[in-house]
Structure 1
Amino acid sequence: MTKSANEILDEIKTTAAEEKQEESHSIDEYLDELNRLVGLEKVKKDVNSLINLVQIRKIREERGISQPAMSLHLVFSGNPGTGKTTVARLLSKIYHEIGLLSKGHLVECDRSSLVGGYVGQTAIKTQDVIQKALGGILFIDEAYSLASSSENDYGQEAINTILKAMEDNRDDLIVIVAGYPALMDNFLNSNPGLESRFNKFIYFDDYDDEQLYEIFMLMADEASLKLDEPAEQYLKEYLKKMYETRSKNFANGRSVRNFFEEVLTAQANRLAPKEDITDEELNTLTYEDFMVGEE
C-alpha cells in the first residue's frame, strides 16, 4: 500500500528522534569521557568543579531560592592541540543534560567566520553564527584576532555584536573564547565588556612526553596498529626530545597527529611494493617507518 506524505513525514521525524536519543548520554557518561582524556588534570578538576557549581545553582533555581548572578562564559587559554575544543564539546553536552542549554551543541568559529570585508557585513556574519549557536556553546578560537587597533578593521564590530547577543540570550547561550595565554589577556583587556563577562579561566598545560606517547599509542590502537620493540623505543625518545625542545607555541596533540600520519605514510611506502602483504605486516609499525622523524 502506498504511504501518504504525512505518514512518510512521521516516519522521518520518528527516525530522527530515535537517532537523537541514541546520541544522547547521561551526565555520568560524559563526565567519564572527560575524565578519561589524556593528561589535563588541572582542567578536569576545574571543569568538574564548574559542573558541580552549575548543578547546585540549577537545583536552587528549581526550588525558587535566590542566588547571585553568575557568568558562565569561559576563557580557555593554552597552546594548540591541548584538547580545548574537545572539552568545550563535552561541556556543551553536559550543560544540556543538566538543563542549562536547550540543545547542547557546539559551534566552532574564528575571525574568518565572523568578520566581513566591508561596513555592515560583519554584523550580519556574526549574527548568523550566533543564531546557529543558540541553545549551545559558541567556541571562538584565536579570539584575540578580533581585537585590533586599526580603524579599518571590523573585528570590534564582531565583538560588540557578540557581547549584545550574550546579554540578550544569557539563558541559552554560552560563549567560550580560546587562544594563547598572553594574547588572550590582551584581548580581554581591549574591551571593558569582555572583562566583565569573561571572569572564569581554564588553563590547558602542554602535554609532557609521557602523555604525548599515550596519545600516539591511542591513535595506533584505534587504527589496530602495534609497534615493534625498536619502534616503541624510538618513539619514546623522539617524543621526549619533541617535548624538551618545544617552542612556546608547541602544537601538542596536533604535532603527534602529524607525526602519526607521517609514520603511516612511511609504512605504506614500505609495504606497497611487496606482492604478498600479511596481516601482521599491515598491523605493525617498524623502526624503519619511524625514521621519517630523522628526515
Structure 2
Amino acid sequence: MDKYSQALLNSASRLDATAGACGEITKLATAVVEEKNKVATIALLQKISEMIDGDQKEIKLVAQTVNSTLLQFYGYSTIKDICKPAAEEPEDKRSLQELLEELNALVGLKQVKEKVHDLIVYQQVQKMRREKNLHSAKNTLHLAFTGNPGTGKTTVARIVGRIYKKIGLLSKGHFVEVSRTDLIAGYQGQTALKVKKVIEQAKGGVLFIDEAYSITENENSDSYGRECLTELTKALEDYREDLVVIVAGYTEPMRNFFESNPGLKSRFNTFIEFPDYNADELDQILCSICRKNDYVLESDASAVICEYLKKCVEEKGENFANGRLARNLYDDLVMNQARRVIKITQPTKEDLCTIVKDDFQPENQKVE
C-alpha cells in the first residue's frame, strides 16, 4: 500500500477514535482507498465537513487532517493513472465471419455497411494480388467518417480495425481514440511530441480522431494546429502499411477541414457519410438495449414510446442525439421503473423485468 493510502486510513482511524464514530469514518476511507468509491468519497467529505464546522477543537483538527490526506490520495492516484501506460486490448479471437455479423447486426446504416463491405472485399483482393506479385493499387487505408453524433461512427471504426487485423492488413487491430486536447500542447514544439506519442500508441491499429476539424478551428492556437497537422500528415504516409487513421465529425465542418488542407485530403481515399437514425431505427436500438439488460417493454409502453420517437425525429434540431437519445431514454425508463418497483411488496421476476407505460415520463425528456 502506498504512503498516501496509508496516511488516509491512519487519519480516518484517528478521527473515528476522537469523534467516537464507531468505525464509520474508517469504513468510508477503506472504500475510497480500495475502490475509489464515489459514494463513499462524498459521504466521507460530508462527515469531514460536519466535524470541521463543529464546536470541538480536537475533532476539527483531526477532521482537517483527514481532509488533507484525502486530497493527497486523490492527487497521487490521479497522477499515477495519467502516467500509467495504456493497457493493451485483449486480442479479439472472433472469426472474420463473426466480425462481419457484428457489423451487419448494427441497426440501420445500410449504405455505411455496404461501403465498409466493399472496402473490405477490395482490400482482401489487393492483398491477394500483392501475394501473387500482381500490380495492386497503393491506396491508403485511412478513412473519413462524417455525420452527426450518435450515428455509430466510433462503433464502426472499432469493427473496421478488428476486421483489418483479421485479414492481415494490421498487426494488432487495437483502437486508440483521441480528440484535440490529446494532440495539441500549449507550447511550440510540444505538439509534435504529443502527436508522435499518440501515433506510437496506435501503430498496428486504428487511430480514431473525433471532431478532427477542431485541430485547426481555433484561430488563437492556429500555429499549434498547423504543427499537429504537419506531424499527422507525415505519419499518415510513413506508417500507411500498419496504421489506419479514421477522422470523424459533423459533415459540413469536416468538408471545410479537408478543403482547407488538400495535402491531408489526398491521404484519405474513402469518405463515408453516416445518416441520422429514423424513428423505427431508434426504437430498434432501444429494444436491443432492453433485451441485452433483461428488460421488456409492455405493449402500451412501446406504443407511446414509438410515438414519442417519431415526434423527436420530426422536430429534431442541429444537435439531435441519434443513438444517444435511445440510450438516455433507456436510462430514464429503468430509473423510473426502479422507483415504481421498489414500492411493490415482494416483486415477481416479471415485475422486475417489465417496463410499463407509467415508467415513460416524456416531460423529463429533452428533444434535441
Does 2:171 align with 1:96?
no
Shift of 1:147: 1.6
Could you say what secondary structure the match of 1:43 adopts?
Answer: helix
Shift of 1:68: 3.0
Which of 126, 132, 140 is the equivalent residue of 1:71?
140
**Which amino acid is 1:64 matched to?**
N
Does 2:179 align with 1:110?
yes
**Aligned ranges 1:1-40 → 2 under 5 Å:** 23-40=92-109
Could you say what secondary structure the match of 1:265 adopts?
Answer: helix
| Deviation sequence 1:225-270 (CA, Å, 0-9, x none) | 1111210111110111111111133221011101110111111122
Could you say what secondary structure the match of 1:144 adopts?
Answer: helix
Shift of 1:272: 2.4
Cα pair 1:208 1:243 within 8 Å, conserved: yes
**Aligned ranges 1:123-138 → 2 under 5 Å:** 123-138=192-207
* Structure showing greater relative contact order (alpha-carbon pairs closer than 8 Å, 6 or more residues apart): 1
**Which amino acid is 2:320 matched to?**
F
Alpha-carbon RMSD:
1.5
Does 2:233 align with 1:140?
no
Which of 256, 261, 270 is the equivalent residue of 1:191?
261
Could you say what secondary structure the match of 1:178 adopts?
Answer: strand
Residue 122 of structure 2 is matched in structure 1 by 53
**Which amino acid is 1:232 matched to?**
S
Residue 256 of structure 1 is matched in structure 2 by 326
Q: Distance in 2 between matches of 1:53 and 1:249?
A: 35
**Which amino acid is 2:157 matched to?**
A
More deviation, 261-270/49-58? 261-270
Q: Distance in 2 between matches of 1:137 and 1:284?
A: 40
Could you say what secondary structure the match of 1:152 adopts?
Answer: helix
Structure 2-normalised TM-score?
Answer: 0.72
Residue 120 of structure 1 is matched in structure 2 by 189
Cα pair 1:147 1:190 within 8 Å, conserved: no
Shift of 1:158: 1.4
Q: Distance in 2 between matches of 1:232 and 1:166?
A: 47
Give unmatched runs, 5+ long, in structure 1.
1-18
Does 2:316 align with 1:228?
no
Residue 68 of structure 2 is matched in structure 1 by none
Could you say what secondary structure the match of 1:138 adopts?
Answer: strand
Q: Distance in 1 between matches of 2:332 and 2:218?
A: 40
**Which amino acid is 2:176 matched to?**
V
Give unmatched runs, 5+ long, in structure 2.
1-88
Residue 174 of structure 1 is matched in structure 2 by 244
Q: Distance in 2 between matches of 1:220 and 1:149?
A: 41
Q: Distance in 1 between matches of 2:148 and 2:159?
A: 19
Residue 14 of structure 1 is matched in structure 2 by none
Q: Distance in 1 between matches of 2:115 and 2:328?
A: 29
Shift of 1:94: 0.7
Which of 184, 206, 213 is the equivalent residue of 2:276?
206
Question: What fraction of aligned residue pairs are identical, expressed as a percent?
Answer: 48
Q: May I ask how many residue pairs the two structures share in their alignment? A: 275
Could you say what secondary structure the match of 2:333 adopts?
Answer: helix
| Deviation sequence 1:74-102 (CA, Å, 0-9, x none) | 11001111111111111101111111100
Residue 316 of structure 2 is matched in structure 1 by 246
Cα pair 1:148 1:156 within 8 Å, conserved: no
Q: Distance in 1 between matches of 2:253 and 2:164?
A: 28
Structure 1-normalised TM-score?
Answer: 0.89
Residue 3 of structure 1 is matched in structure 2 by none
**Aligned ranges 1:151-166 → 2 under 5 Å:** 152-153=221-222, 154-166=224-236
